[in-house]
Structure 1
Protein backbone atom coordinates (compact mmCIF):
# COMPACT_ATOMS: atom_id res chain seq x y z
CA UNK A 1 0.00 0.00 0.00
CA UNK A 2 1.28 3.47 -0.86
CA UNK A 3 1.33 5.90 2.03
CA UNK A 4 1.66 9.66 2.21
CA UNK A 5 4.58 11.43 3.82
CA UNK A 6 5.69 11.60 7.46
CA UNK A 7 3.68 8.91 9.23
CA UNK A 8 3.92 8.37 12.97
CA UNK A 9 2.02 5.09 13.21
CA UNK A 10 1.53 4.82 16.94
CA UNK A 11 -1.15 4.69 19.58
CA UNK A 12 -1.70 8.33 18.69
CA UNK A 13 -1.35 7.81 14.94
CA UNK A 14 0.09 11.27 14.44
CA UNK A 15 2.82 12.37 12.13
CA UNK A 16 5.57 14.90 11.94
CA UNK A 17 9.06 14.80 10.58
CA UNK A 18 11.62 15.58 13.24
CA UNK A 19 12.38 19.29 13.36
CA UNK A 20 16.08 18.59 13.62
CA UNK A 21 15.78 16.88 10.22
CA UNK A 22 13.42 19.47 8.79
CA UNK A 23 15.64 22.43 9.51
CA UNK A 24 18.89 20.60 8.73
CA UNK A 25 20.91 22.28 11.42
CA UNK A 26 19.94 25.81 10.43
CA UNK A 27 18.64 26.84 13.84
CA UNK A 28 20.30 30.00 15.12
CA UNK A 29 22.03 28.84 18.28
CA UNK A 30 22.27 31.33 21.12
CA UNK A 31 25.31 31.50 23.34
CA UNK A 32 24.86 28.98 26.14
CA UNK A 33 22.11 27.05 24.34
CA UNK A 34 23.94 23.75 24.89
CA UNK A 35 23.77 24.45 28.62
CA UNK A 36 20.02 25.09 28.34
CA UNK A 37 19.62 21.79 26.47
CA UNK A 38 21.50 20.07 29.28
CA UNK A 39 19.18 21.57 31.87
CA UNK A 40 16.10 20.55 29.87
CA UNK A 41 17.49 17.02 29.65
CA UNK A 42 18.03 16.99 33.42
CA UNK A 43 14.41 17.99 33.97
CA UNK A 44 13.25 15.27 31.57
CA UNK A 45 15.38 12.64 33.30
CA UNK A 46 14.13 13.77 36.69
CA UNK A 47 10.52 13.50 35.54
CA UNK A 48 11.20 9.98 34.27
CA UNK A 49 12.93 8.93 37.49
CA UNK A 50 10.01 10.15 39.59
CA UNK A 51 7.28 8.95 37.26
CA UNK A 52 8.39 5.45 36.27
CA UNK A 53 8.91 2.55 38.67
CA UNK A 54 11.84 0.19 38.24
CA UNK A 55 15.52 0.81 37.59
CA UNK A 56 15.62 -0.94 34.20
CA UNK A 57 12.79 0.98 32.54
CA UNK A 58 13.97 4.23 34.11
CA UNK A 59 17.53 3.88 32.88
CA UNK A 60 16.36 2.85 29.42
CA UNK A 61 14.12 5.93 29.16
CA UNK A 62 16.90 8.19 30.43
CA UNK A 63 19.27 6.81 27.79
CA UNK A 64 16.69 7.72 25.13
CA UNK A 65 16.57 11.28 26.50
CA UNK A 66 20.35 11.60 26.47
CA UNK A 67 20.45 10.47 22.86
CA UNK A 68 17.72 12.93 21.93
CA UNK A 69 19.65 15.76 23.58
CA UNK A 70 22.56 15.12 21.23
CA UNK A 71 20.20 15.61 18.27
CA UNK A 72 19.07 18.92 19.76
CA UNK A 73 15.85 20.08 21.39
CA UNK A 74 14.48 22.02 18.43
CA UNK A 75 10.86 22.12 19.56
CA UNK A 76 11.91 23.42 22.97
CA UNK A 77 13.65 26.31 21.24
CA UNK A 78 10.34 27.30 19.67
CA UNK A 79 8.57 27.07 23.03
CA UNK A 80 11.22 29.23 24.69
CA UNK A 81 11.35 31.72 21.84
CA UNK A 82 7.60 32.28 21.94
CA UNK A 83 7.52 32.66 25.71
CA UNK A 84 10.18 35.36 25.55
CA UNK A 85 8.56 37.10 22.58
CA UNK A 86 5.57 37.93 24.78
CA UNK A 87 7.08 37.99 28.27
CA UNK A 88 9.18 40.48 30.19
CA UNK A 89 10.82 37.66 32.16
CA UNK A 90 14.00 37.69 30.10
CA UNK A 91 15.92 35.35 32.39
CA UNK A 92 13.22 32.67 32.55
CA UNK A 93 14.38 29.41 30.97
CA UNK A 94 10.91 27.86 30.65
CA UNK A 95 12.47 24.52 31.54
CA UNK A 96 9.42 22.47 32.52
CA UNK A 97 7.21 23.48 29.57
CA UNK A 98 10.18 22.87 27.26
CA UNK A 99 10.73 19.46 28.84
CA UNK A 100 7.03 18.65 28.44
CA UNK A 101 7.12 19.47 24.73
CA UNK A 102 10.31 17.48 24.16
CA UNK A 103 8.96 14.45 26.04
CA UNK A 104 5.98 14.53 23.69
CA UNK A 105 8.18 14.76 20.60
CA UNK A 106 10.52 12.02 21.84
CA UNK A 107 7.52 9.75 22.36
CA UNK A 108 6.38 10.35 18.78
CA UNK A 109 9.90 9.96 17.39
CA UNK A 110 10.17 6.52 18.98
CA UNK A 111 6.90 5.35 17.46
CA UNK A 112 7.93 6.77 14.08
CA UNK A 113 11.28 4.98 14.00
CA UNK A 114 9.79 1.68 15.13
CA UNK A 115 7.20 1.92 12.36
CA UNK A 116 9.62 2.89 9.59
CA UNK A 117 12.39 0.52 10.74
CA UNK A 118 14.95 2.80 9.11
CA UNK A 119 16.87 4.04 12.15
CA UNK A 120 18.70 1.02 13.51
CA UNK A 121 21.33 3.27 15.11
CA UNK A 122 18.79 4.81 17.51
CA UNK A 123 18.84 3.31 21.04
CA UNK A 124 15.09 2.65 21.03
CA UNK A 125 15.55 0.52 17.91
CA UNK A 126 18.20 -1.58 19.65
CA UNK A 127 15.90 -2.90 22.38
CA UNK A 128 12.83 -5.15 22.00
CA UNK A 129 10.23 -3.08 20.18
CA UNK A 130 7.53 -3.90 22.72
CA UNK A 131 9.71 -2.37 25.45
CA UNK A 132 10.43 0.73 23.38
CA UNK A 133 6.72 1.19 22.65
CA UNK A 134 5.90 0.82 26.33
CA UNK A 135 8.44 3.49 27.26
CA UNK A 136 7.10 5.75 24.53
CA UNK A 137 3.61 5.47 26.01
CA UNK A 138 5.02 6.42 29.40
CA UNK A 139 6.86 9.43 27.97
CA UNK A 140 3.64 10.64 26.40
CA UNK A 141 1.83 10.56 29.74
CA UNK A 142 4.78 12.19 31.51
CA UNK A 143 4.69 15.02 28.96
CA UNK A 144 1.15 15.92 30.04
CA UNK A 145 2.01 15.51 33.72
CA UNK A 146 5.11 17.72 33.44
CA UNK A 147 3.14 20.62 32.01
CA UNK A 148 0.37 20.17 34.58
CA UNK A 149 2.89 20.43 37.43
CA UNK A 150 4.82 23.42 36.05
CA UNK A 151 4.61 26.54 38.23
CA UNK A 152 2.77 29.13 36.16
CA UNK A 153 -0.43 31.10 36.58
CA UNK A 154 -3.24 28.51 36.72
CA UNK A 155 -5.29 30.12 33.94
CA UNK A 156 -2.33 30.38 31.57
CA UNK A 157 -1.14 26.88 32.39
CA UNK A 158 -4.63 25.52 31.75
CA UNK A 159 -4.60 27.13 28.30
CA UNK A 160 -1.17 25.68 27.52
CA UNK A 161 -2.39 22.20 28.46
CA UNK A 162 -5.44 22.62 26.25
CA UNK A 163 -3.20 23.52 23.32
CA UNK A 164 -1.08 20.45 23.96
CA UNK A 165 -4.20 18.30 23.80
CA UNK A 166 -5.97 20.06 20.92
CA UNK A 167 -3.00 20.28 18.55
CA UNK A 168 -2.09 16.62 19.04
CA UNK A 169 -5.71 15.61 18.47
CA UNK A 170 -5.76 17.73 15.32
CA UNK A 171 -2.72 15.77 14.16
CA UNK A 172 -4.60 12.53 14.90
CA UNK A 173 -7.33 13.62 12.49
CA UNK A 174 -4.75 14.49 9.86
CA UNK A 175 -3.10 11.11 10.27
CA UNK A 176 -6.45 9.39 9.77
CA UNK A 177 -6.67 11.03 6.35
CA UNK A 178 -3.14 9.85 5.62
CA UNK A 179 -3.85 6.27 6.68
CA UNK A 180 -6.82 6.01 4.31
CA UNK A 181 -4.26 6.18 1.47
CA UNK A 182 -6.63 8.28 -0.61
CA UNK A 183 -4.47 11.37 -1.23
CA UNK A 184 -4.29 12.07 -4.95
CA UNK A 185 -4.18 15.87 -5.30
CA UNK A 186 -1.93 18.69 -4.16
CA UNK A 187 -4.76 20.22 -2.15
CA UNK A 188 -5.43 16.99 -0.25
CA UNK A 189 -1.76 16.59 0.58
CA UNK A 190 -1.34 20.15 1.82
CA UNK A 191 -4.47 19.91 3.98
CA UNK A 192 -3.14 16.71 5.52
CA UNK A 193 0.27 18.27 6.23
CA UNK A 194 -1.38 21.32 7.81
CA UNK A 195 -3.24 19.00 10.18
CA UNK A 196 -0.15 16.98 11.05
CA UNK A 197 3.15 18.85 10.72
CA UNK A 198 1.48 22.23 11.07
CA UNK A 199 -0.43 21.23 14.20
CA UNK A 200 2.60 19.93 16.08
CA UNK A 201 4.69 22.96 15.13
CA UNK A 202 1.82 25.12 16.41
CA UNK A 203 1.74 23.07 19.60
CA UNK A 204 5.31 24.00 20.55
CA UNK A 205 4.73 27.68 19.72
CA UNK A 206 1.36 27.96 21.47
CA UNK A 207 2.55 26.34 24.70
CA UNK A 208 5.22 29.02 25.06
CA UNK A 209 2.89 31.83 23.98
CA UNK A 210 0.01 30.90 26.28
CA UNK A 211 2.25 30.80 29.36
CA UNK A 212 3.30 34.40 28.67
CA UNK A 213 0.11 36.07 27.42
CA UNK A 214 -3.57 35.42 26.81
CA UNK A 215 -3.57 37.47 23.60
CA UNK A 216 -2.69 36.96 19.91
CA UNK A 217 -2.92 33.17 20.09
CA UNK A 218 -4.86 32.90 16.83
CA UNK A 219 -2.10 34.74 14.94
CA UNK A 220 0.59 32.50 16.43
CA UNK A 221 -1.38 29.40 15.48
CA UNK A 222 -1.79 30.63 11.92
CA UNK A 223 1.85 31.45 11.19
CA UNK A 224 3.26 28.44 13.06
CA UNK A 225 1.00 26.12 11.07
CA UNK A 226 2.29 27.64 7.82
CA UNK A 227 5.83 27.31 9.19
CA UNK A 228 5.23 23.61 9.82
CA UNK A 229 3.98 23.05 6.27
CA UNK A 230 6.97 24.89 4.78
CA UNK A 231 9.34 22.81 6.89
CA UNK A 232 7.70 19.58 5.74
CA UNK A 233 7.92 20.63 2.09
CA UNK A 234 11.61 21.40 2.55
CA UNK A 235 12.05 17.88 3.86
CA UNK A 236 10.03 16.42 0.96
CA UNK A 237 12.27 18.18 -1.55
CA UNK A 238 15.39 16.76 0.01
CA UNK A 239 14.05 13.25 0.48
CA UNK A 240 12.99 12.80 -3.14
CA UNK A 241 16.58 13.52 -4.22
CA UNK A 242 18.47 11.19 -1.89
CA UNK A 243 19.24 7.52 -2.40
CA UNK A 244 19.32 5.89 1.00
CA UNK A 245 16.78 4.58 3.49
CA UNK A 246 15.06 7.98 3.59
CA UNK A 247 14.28 8.17 -0.13
CA UNK A 248 10.54 8.75 -0.47
CA UNK A 249 10.17 7.49 -4.02
CA UNK A 250 12.01 4.26 -3.26
CA UNK A 251 9.49 3.51 -0.49
CA UNK A 252 6.47 4.56 -2.58
CA UNK A 253 5.54 7.53 -0.43
CA UNK A 254 3.38 10.30 -1.83
CA UNK A 255 4.75 13.77 -1.17
CA UNK A 256 4.02 16.97 -3.04
CA UNK A 257 6.94 16.62 -5.50
CA UNK A 258 6.13 12.94 -6.07
CA UNK A 259 2.46 13.73 -6.67
CA UNK A 260 3.57 16.19 -9.35
CA UNK A 261 5.89 13.58 -10.86
CA UNK A 262 2.99 11.13 -11.01
CA UNK A 263 0.80 13.76 -12.65
CA UNK A 264 3.22 14.36 -15.52
CA UNK A 265 1.97 12.97 -18.81
CA UNK A 266 5.28 12.31 -20.55
CA UNK A 267 6.03 8.77 -21.62
CA UNK A 268 9.17 9.03 -19.50
CA UNK A 269 7.22 8.53 -16.28
CA UNK A 270 5.29 5.37 -17.18
CA UNK A 271 7.83 3.42 -15.12
CA UNK A 272 6.88 5.51 -12.07
CA UNK A 273 3.21 4.54 -12.31
CA UNK A 274 4.21 0.91 -12.86
CA UNK A 275 6.45 1.00 -9.79
CA UNK A 276 3.77 2.52 -7.55
CA UNK A 277 1.27 -0.06 -8.81
CA UNK A 278 3.64 -2.92 -7.99
CA UNK A 279 4.43 -3.83 -11.60
CA UNK A 280 8.13 -3.04 -11.13
CA UNK A 281 10.28 -3.94 -8.14
CA UNK A 282 12.77 -1.91 -6.13
CA UNK A 283 15.69 -3.43 -8.02
CA UNK A 284 14.54 -1.67 -11.18
CA UNK A 285 14.72 1.69 -9.40
CA UNK A 286 18.17 0.98 -7.99
CA UNK A 287 19.48 -0.29 -11.33
CA UNK A 288 18.35 2.93 -13.05
CA UNK A 289 19.19 5.23 -10.16
CA UNK A 290 21.28 7.72 -12.12
CA UNK A 291 18.79 8.12 -14.95
CA UNK A 292 15.92 8.52 -12.49
CA UNK A 293 17.86 11.05 -10.43
CA UNK A 294 18.60 13.12 -13.55
CA UNK A 295 14.95 12.95 -14.63
CA UNK A 296 13.74 14.10 -11.21
CA UNK A 297 16.21 17.00 -11.08
CA UNK A 298 15.12 18.20 -14.52
CA UNK A 299 11.43 17.81 -13.79
CA UNK A 300 9.26 20.89 -13.10
CA UNK A 301 7.89 19.00 -10.08
CA UNK A 302 10.76 20.13 -7.85
CA UNK A 303 10.43 23.75 -8.93
CA UNK A 304 6.70 23.59 -8.29
CA UNK A 305 7.17 22.20 -4.77
CA UNK A 306 9.81 24.85 -4.07
CA UNK A 307 7.37 27.58 -5.11
CA UNK A 308 4.66 26.19 -2.83
CA UNK A 309 7.16 26.03 0.02
CA UNK A 310 7.98 29.68 -0.55
CA UNK A 311 4.27 30.53 -0.51
CA UNK A 312 3.94 29.04 2.97
CA UNK A 313 7.13 30.74 4.12
CA UNK A 314 5.74 34.07 2.93
CA UNK A 315 2.40 33.41 4.63
CA UNK A 316 4.14 32.71 7.91
CA UNK A 317 6.54 35.65 7.66
CA UNK A 318 3.81 38.12 6.72
CA UNK A 319 1.56 36.95 9.54
CA UNK A 320 4.35 37.43 12.08
CA UNK A 321 4.34 41.12 11.17
CA UNK A 322 0.84 41.40 12.66
CA UNK A 323 1.82 40.45 16.19
CA UNK A 324 2.91 42.82 18.91
CA UNK A 325 6.05 41.28 20.41
CA UNK A 326 9.74 41.93 20.94
CA UNK A 327 11.10 42.95 17.55
CA UNK A 328 14.48 41.27 18.02
CA UNK A 329 12.85 37.90 18.62
CA UNK A 330 10.32 38.38 15.83
CA UNK A 331 13.25 38.93 13.49
CA UNK A 332 14.94 35.79 14.78
CA UNK A 333 11.80 33.77 14.10
CA UNK A 334 11.45 35.21 10.60
CA UNK A 335 15.08 34.40 9.84
CA UNK A 336 14.49 30.82 10.93
CA UNK A 337 11.47 30.51 8.66
CA UNK A 338 13.38 31.96 5.71
CA UNK A 339 16.28 29.53 6.16
CA UNK A 340 14.39 26.25 5.84
Structure 2
Protein backbone atom coordinates (compact mmCIF):
# COMPACT_ATOMS: atom_id res chain seq x y z
CA UNK A 1 0.00 0.00 0.00
CA UNK A 2 1.32 3.45 -0.85
CA UNK A 3 0.53 6.90 0.42
CA UNK A 4 -2.07 7.08 -2.37
CA UNK A 5 -4.42 4.68 -0.57
CA UNK A 6 -8.02 5.83 -0.61
CA UNK A 7 -9.02 4.60 2.84
CA UNK A 8 -8.04 3.22 6.23
CA UNK A 9 -9.93 0.65 8.31
CA UNK A 10 -10.65 1.54 11.93
CA UNK A 11 -10.75 -1.74 13.84
CA UNK A 12 -12.77 -0.21 16.68
CA UNK A 13 -14.16 -2.32 19.49
CA UNK A 14 -15.72 -5.50 18.14
CA UNK A 15 -16.82 -7.55 15.12
CA UNK A 16 -19.91 -8.86 16.94
CA UNK A 17 -23.04 -7.06 15.71
CA UNK A 18 -24.68 -6.89 19.14
CA UNK A 19 -21.55 -5.32 20.63
CA UNK A 20 -21.40 -2.85 17.74
CA UNK A 21 -24.94 -1.70 18.58
CA UNK A 22 -23.91 -1.42 22.24
CA UNK A 23 -20.87 0.61 21.14
CA UNK A 24 -23.17 2.92 19.14
CA UNK A 25 -25.61 3.42 22.03
CA UNK A 26 -22.82 4.00 24.57
CA UNK A 27 -21.02 6.55 22.39
CA UNK A 28 -24.34 8.24 21.55
CA UNK A 29 -25.11 8.75 25.25
CA UNK A 30 -21.58 10.02 25.88
CA UNK A 31 -21.76 12.40 22.93
CA UNK A 32 -25.17 13.78 23.89
CA UNK A 33 -23.99 14.31 27.49
CA UNK A 34 -20.88 16.18 26.33
CA UNK A 35 -22.90 18.16 23.79
CA UNK A 36 -25.56 19.21 26.27
CA UNK A 37 -23.13 20.00 29.10
CA UNK A 38 -20.76 22.11 27.02
CA UNK A 39 -23.54 23.91 25.13
CA UNK A 40 -25.24 24.83 28.43
CA UNK A 41 -21.99 26.28 29.76
CA UNK A 42 -21.41 28.20 26.52
CA UNK A 43 -24.93 29.64 26.51
CA UNK A 44 -24.92 30.48 30.22
CA UNK A 45 -21.64 32.40 29.95
CA UNK A 46 -22.56 34.08 26.66
CA UNK A 47 -25.96 35.39 27.73
CA UNK A 48 -25.34 36.17 31.42
CA UNK A 49 -23.38 39.39 31.99
CA UNK A 50 -22.61 38.28 35.57
CA UNK A 51 -20.24 35.70 34.08
CA UNK A 52 -18.32 38.06 31.81
CA UNK A 53 -15.09 37.63 33.76
CA UNK A 54 -11.70 36.16 32.72
CA UNK A 55 -12.28 32.78 34.40
CA UNK A 56 -15.60 32.24 32.63
CA UNK A 57 -14.26 33.60 29.34
CA UNK A 58 -11.61 30.87 29.43
CA UNK A 59 -14.21 28.30 30.45
CA UNK A 60 -16.43 29.26 27.50
CA UNK A 61 -13.51 28.72 25.09
CA UNK A 62 -12.74 25.41 26.80
CA UNK A 63 -16.33 24.31 26.13
CA UNK A 64 -15.97 25.17 22.43
CA UNK A 65 -12.71 23.20 22.20
CA UNK A 66 -14.24 20.23 24.02
CA UNK A 67 -17.19 20.21 21.62
CA UNK A 68 -14.81 20.34 18.68
CA UNK A 69 -12.49 17.57 19.84
CA UNK A 70 -15.24 15.10 20.73
CA UNK A 71 -17.11 15.86 17.48
CA UNK A 72 -14.03 14.92 15.45
CA UNK A 73 -13.86 11.32 16.70
CA UNK A 74 -17.15 10.09 18.19
CA UNK A 75 -19.65 10.65 15.31
CA UNK A 76 -17.54 8.76 12.76
CA UNK A 77 -17.07 5.87 15.17
CA UNK A 78 -20.82 5.81 15.85
CA UNK A 79 -21.64 5.85 12.14
CA UNK A 80 -19.25 2.95 11.47
CA UNK A 81 -20.74 0.91 14.32
CA UNK A 82 -24.30 1.57 13.17
CA UNK A 83 -23.61 0.77 9.49
CA UNK A 84 -21.35 -2.21 10.30
CA UNK A 85 -18.38 -0.77 8.46
CA UNK A 86 -14.84 0.20 9.43
CA UNK A 87 -13.67 2.46 6.64
CA UNK A 88 -12.56 6.07 6.78
CA UNK A 89 -11.27 7.83 3.69
CA UNK A 90 -7.66 8.96 3.47
CA UNK A 91 -8.80 12.60 3.43
CA UNK A 92 -11.12 11.90 6.37
CA UNK A 93 -8.24 10.42 8.35
CA UNK A 94 -6.06 13.45 7.61
CA UNK A 95 -8.89 15.74 8.72
CA UNK A 96 -9.41 13.74 11.92
CA UNK A 97 -5.74 13.96 12.86
CA UNK A 98 -5.54 17.66 12.03
CA UNK A 99 -8.65 18.80 13.89
CA UNK A 100 -8.16 16.45 16.85
CA UNK A 101 -4.59 17.65 17.41
CA UNK A 102 -5.65 21.29 16.94
CA UNK A 103 -8.44 21.09 19.49
CA UNK A 104 -6.52 19.00 22.04
CA UNK A 105 -3.39 21.19 21.86
CA UNK A 106 -5.43 24.37 22.24
CA UNK A 107 -7.42 22.68 25.02
CA UNK A 108 -4.31 21.91 27.05
CA UNK A 109 -2.86 25.36 26.40
CA UNK A 110 -6.09 26.84 27.74
CA UNK A 111 -5.98 24.62 30.83
CA UNK A 112 -2.47 25.99 31.47
CA UNK A 113 -3.74 29.56 31.08
CA UNK A 114 -6.60 28.81 33.48
CA UNK A 115 -4.10 27.63 36.08
CA UNK A 116 -2.23 30.92 35.70
CA UNK A 117 -5.52 32.82 36.03
CA UNK A 118 -6.29 31.05 39.32
CA UNK A 119 -2.73 31.72 40.53
CA UNK A 120 -3.07 35.46 39.89
CA UNK A 121 -6.58 35.58 41.39
CA UNK A 122 -5.59 33.86 44.63
CA UNK A 123 -1.92 34.76 45.09
CA UNK A 124 -1.91 38.30 43.66
CA UNK A 125 -5.52 39.51 44.00
CA UNK A 126 -4.59 43.20 44.09
CA UNK A 127 -2.97 42.94 40.64
CA UNK A 128 -5.64 40.68 39.11
CA UNK A 129 -7.58 43.37 37.22
CA UNK A 130 -4.37 44.74 35.74
CA UNK A 131 -2.75 41.43 34.81
CA UNK A 132 -5.93 39.72 33.56
CA UNK A 133 -7.54 42.61 31.69
CA UNK A 134 -9.73 42.02 28.62
CA UNK A 135 -6.91 42.51 26.14
CA UNK A 136 -4.59 40.09 27.95
CA UNK A 137 -7.33 37.44 28.14
CA UNK A 138 -8.12 37.71 24.42
CA UNK A 139 -4.42 37.57 23.51
CA UNK A 140 -3.79 34.49 25.67
CA UNK A 141 -6.85 32.71 24.31
CA UNK A 142 -5.93 33.57 20.71
CA UNK A 143 -2.43 32.26 21.44
CA UNK A 144 -3.90 28.95 22.61
CA UNK A 145 -6.00 28.56 19.44
CA UNK A 146 -3.15 29.60 17.12
CA UNK A 147 -0.64 27.30 18.84
CA UNK A 148 -3.07 24.41 18.38
CA UNK A 149 -3.45 25.09 14.67
CA UNK A 150 0.29 25.57 14.02
CA UNK A 151 1.25 22.47 15.98
CA UNK A 152 -1.38 20.43 14.16
CA UNK A 153 -0.25 21.63 10.73
CA UNK A 154 3.33 20.56 11.43
CA UNK A 155 2.35 17.28 13.11
CA UNK A 156 -0.25 16.24 10.52
CA UNK A 157 2.02 17.14 7.61
CA UNK A 158 4.90 15.20 9.14
CA UNK A 159 2.72 12.13 9.75
CA UNK A 160 1.11 11.91 6.30
CA UNK A 161 4.37 12.63 4.50
CA UNK A 162 5.37 9.09 5.50
CA UNK A 163 4.81 6.04 3.30
CA UNK A 164 2.14 3.65 4.62
CA UNK A 165 3.04 0.17 3.43
CA UNK A 166 2.12 -2.18 6.28
CA UNK A 167 -1.58 -2.47 5.59
CA UNK A 168 -4.38 -0.01 6.21
CA UNK A 169 -5.88 -1.32 9.48
CA UNK A 170 -5.70 1.20 12.34
CA UNK A 171 -6.01 -0.49 15.75
CA UNK A 172 -8.16 2.29 17.20
CA UNK A 173 -11.66 3.81 16.91
CA UNK A 174 -10.20 6.94 15.29
CA UNK A 175 -7.06 7.89 13.37
CA UNK A 176 -4.58 8.08 16.24
CA UNK A 177 -1.02 9.05 15.30
CA UNK A 178 0.83 6.27 17.22
CA UNK A 179 -1.37 3.66 15.54
CA UNK A 180 -0.78 5.22 12.11
CA UNK A 181 2.98 5.06 12.69
CA UNK A 182 2.68 1.27 12.98
CA UNK A 183 1.68 1.23 9.31
CA UNK A 184 4.75 3.06 8.04
CA UNK A 185 7.84 1.37 6.65
CA UNK A 186 9.96 4.43 5.95
CA UNK A 187 13.00 5.21 8.09
CA UNK A 188 11.72 8.77 8.24
CA UNK A 189 9.06 7.65 10.73
CA UNK A 190 11.76 8.13 13.39
CA UNK A 191 11.49 11.88 12.82
CA UNK A 192 7.78 11.68 13.68
CA UNK A 193 8.60 9.64 16.79
CA UNK A 194 11.00 12.40 17.85
CA UNK A 195 8.27 14.97 17.24
CA UNK A 196 5.94 12.95 19.46
CA UNK A 197 8.54 12.71 22.21
CA UNK A 198 9.24 16.46 21.98
CA UNK A 199 5.51 17.16 22.12
CA UNK A 200 5.09 15.09 25.25
CA UNK A 201 8.04 16.92 26.83
CA UNK A 202 6.34 20.25 26.11
CA UNK A 203 3.10 18.97 27.65
CA UNK A 204 4.94 17.73 30.71
CA UNK A 205 6.63 21.16 30.93
CA UNK A 206 3.21 22.82 30.94
CA UNK A 207 2.08 20.29 33.54
CA UNK A 208 5.04 21.20 35.78
CA UNK A 209 4.08 24.89 35.38
CA UNK A 210 0.52 24.02 36.43
CA UNK A 211 1.75 22.03 39.44
CA UNK A 212 4.04 24.87 40.55
CA UNK A 213 1.12 27.30 40.18
CA UNK A 214 -1.06 25.10 42.36
CA UNK A 215 1.63 24.68 44.99
CA UNK A 216 1.69 28.47 45.31
CA UNK A 217 -2.11 28.57 45.30
CA UNK A 218 -2.42 25.96 48.05
CA UNK A 219 0.15 27.81 50.17
CA UNK A 220 -1.92 30.97 49.87
CA UNK A 221 -5.18 29.11 50.51
CA UNK A 222 -3.87 27.60 53.73
CA UNK A 223 -3.19 31.12 54.99
CA UNK A 224 -6.83 32.15 54.48
CA UNK A 225 -8.35 32.50 57.97
CA UNK A 226 -11.90 31.74 56.83
CA UNK A 227 -12.74 28.06 56.47
CA UNK A 228 -15.39 29.00 53.89
CA UNK A 229 -12.77 30.91 51.89
CA UNK A 230 -10.41 27.92 51.93
CA UNK A 231 -13.21 25.60 50.85
CA UNK A 232 -14.18 27.90 47.94
CA UNK A 233 -10.57 28.14 46.73
CA UNK A 234 -10.02 24.38 46.92
CA UNK A 235 -13.34 23.61 45.20
CA UNK A 236 -12.30 25.90 42.33
CA UNK A 237 -8.79 24.50 41.88
CA UNK A 238 -8.96 20.77 42.64
CA UNK A 239 -11.37 19.88 39.78
CA UNK A 240 -9.12 21.75 37.34
CA UNK A 241 -6.08 19.81 38.57
CA UNK A 242 -8.00 16.52 38.27
CA UNK A 243 -8.89 17.11 34.60
CA UNK A 244 -5.36 18.25 33.74
CA UNK A 245 -3.82 15.18 35.40
CA UNK A 246 -6.16 12.83 33.53
CA UNK A 247 -5.30 14.36 30.15
CA UNK A 248 -1.55 14.46 30.79
CA UNK A 249 -1.03 10.95 32.13
CA UNK A 250 -3.33 9.09 29.73
CA UNK A 251 -2.14 11.12 26.72
CA UNK A 252 1.52 10.62 27.61
CA UNK A 253 0.94 6.89 28.05
CA UNK A 254 -0.81 6.61 24.67
CA UNK A 255 1.84 8.55 22.75
CA UNK A 256 5.02 7.41 24.49
CA UNK A 257 4.50 3.71 25.14
CA UNK A 258 5.96 1.29 22.57
CA UNK A 259 3.31 0.26 20.06
CA UNK A 260 2.63 -3.46 19.85
CA UNK A 261 1.93 -5.27 16.61
CA UNK A 262 -1.41 -6.64 17.87
CA UNK A 263 -4.54 -4.74 18.94
CA UNK A 264 -4.76 -4.01 22.66
CA UNK A 265 -7.87 -3.38 24.76
CA UNK A 266 -5.69 -1.12 26.92
CA UNK A 267 -5.02 1.15 23.91
CA UNK A 268 -8.77 1.59 23.42
CA UNK A 269 -9.39 2.32 27.09
CA UNK A 270 -6.56 4.87 27.27
CA UNK A 271 -7.79 6.56 24.07
CA UNK A 272 -11.26 6.94 25.57
CA UNK A 273 -9.75 8.32 28.80
CA UNK A 274 -7.83 11.14 27.11
CA UNK A 275 -9.98 11.86 24.04
CA UNK A 276 -13.54 11.43 25.34
CA UNK A 277 -13.76 11.46 29.15
CA UNK A 278 -12.35 14.99 29.79
CA UNK A 279 -14.94 16.49 27.44
CA UNK A 280 -17.67 15.02 29.67
CA UNK A 281 -15.89 15.79 32.93
CA UNK A 282 -15.21 19.47 32.23
CA UNK A 283 -18.86 20.58 32.35
CA UNK A 284 -19.36 18.54 35.52
CA UNK A 285 -16.28 19.58 37.50
CA UNK A 286 -16.47 23.23 36.48
CA UNK A 287 -20.22 23.71 36.74
CA UNK A 288 -22.07 21.28 38.96
CA UNK A 289 -20.47 22.69 42.12
CA UNK A 290 -20.28 26.26 40.82
CA UNK A 291 -23.06 28.39 42.29
CA UNK A 292 -22.60 31.16 39.73
CA UNK A 293 -22.99 28.79 36.78
CA UNK A 294 -26.03 27.18 38.42
CA UNK A 295 -27.60 30.59 38.98
CA UNK A 296 -26.90 31.58 35.37
CA UNK A 297 -28.51 28.37 34.09
CA UNK A 298 -31.59 29.02 36.24
CA UNK A 299 -31.86 32.54 34.84
CA UNK A 300 -31.33 31.21 31.31
CA UNK A 301 -34.04 28.56 31.58
CA UNK A 302 -36.40 30.64 33.70
CA UNK A 303 -36.35 27.99 36.42
CA UNK A 304 -36.42 29.33 40.00
TM-score of the superposed pair, with normalisation by structure 1 = 0.29
Greater RCO (Cα-Cα under 8 Å, separation 6 or more): 2
TM-score (norm 2): 0.31
- More helix as a share of residues: 2
